Amino acid sequence: MRMHNPPHPGEVLNELCIKPLGLSVTEAAKALGVSRKTLSALINGRAGVSPEMAIRLSKVFNTSAESWLQQQMQYDLWHAEQRRDEIIVSPLAVA
């Protein structure tokens, strides 16, 4: 069952990992081995979680890479579903 309007994984990252540890974006970015700009884009929903970022997050915050990718997939799919009627396809007959 899909979640209704799931949060962006960057929001989850910020609220459940970064803030509780009292980290700044700069400190978290340094721990992750990415630029502050890269992490800020993720936290602010302007970028998604890539497989590499999922691994980085899993290593730094002792989580699973799969959980981050699952969150991203749920977020992306929910937003795509909102445009379902705009997606034009030609159904194929199954033999």
Give dist(CA 74, CA 77) in Å, integer: 5
Give per-residue pLDDT as tens, 11-38: 999 999 999 999 999 999 999 999 999 9
The whole-angstrom separation of Cα 74 and Cα 26 is 27
Q: Using a cut of 0.85, tell me whether the model's pTM lies above it.
A: yes
pLDDT at 2: 57
Are 29 and 41 within 8 A, CB to CB?
Answer: no
Instruction: Give pLDDT tens digits for 40-85.
Output: 999 999 999 999 999 999 999 999 999 999 999 999 999 999 999 9
Structural domains of the chain sorted by starting position, each given as residue range(s) with its CATH number in brackets: 9-82 (1.10.260.40)
